[in-house]
């Protein structure tokens, strides 16, 4: 029996909206998700590529904090 997943809102290209919500460049994020999924399906995604993608995604989610002055 196949698993059934809840329907979620998606972008025009079929990527869940939640995956691209906080991105500064939504199209680039969407492109990266689509290309990674394609490589994964084909079995051509290498460990090095996955590590690079993981770092990039973690970096894009972080917000820069302002340094506070000491008075």
Those residues with Cβ within 8 angstroms of residue 13's Cβ, 6 or more apart along the chain or in another chain:
30, 34
Query: What count of residues does the chain have?
Result: 71
Query: What pLDDT, on a 0 to 100 scale, did the predictor assign at position 1?
Result: 85
Task: Encode pLDDT of 17-45 as tens digits.
Answer: 999 888 888 999 999 999 999 999 999 99
Q: What is the pTM of this model?
A: 0.73
Query: What pLDDT, on a 0 to 100 scale, did the predictor assign at position 52?
Result: 93
% of residues, the chain, pLDDT over 70: 93
Domain ranges of the chain: 19-50
| pLDDT of residue 66 exceeding 80 | no
% of residues, the chain, pLDDT over 90: 61
């Amino acid at each position: 029996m196949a698993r059934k997943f809840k329907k979620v809102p998606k972008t025009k290209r079929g990527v869940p909206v939640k995956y691209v919500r906080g991105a500064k460049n939504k199209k680039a994020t969407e492109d990266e998700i689509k290309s990674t999924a394609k490589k994964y399906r084909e079995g051509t995604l290498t460990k090095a590529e996955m590590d690079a993608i993981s770092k990039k995604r973690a970096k894009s989610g972080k917000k820069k904090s302002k340094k506070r002055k000491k008075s």
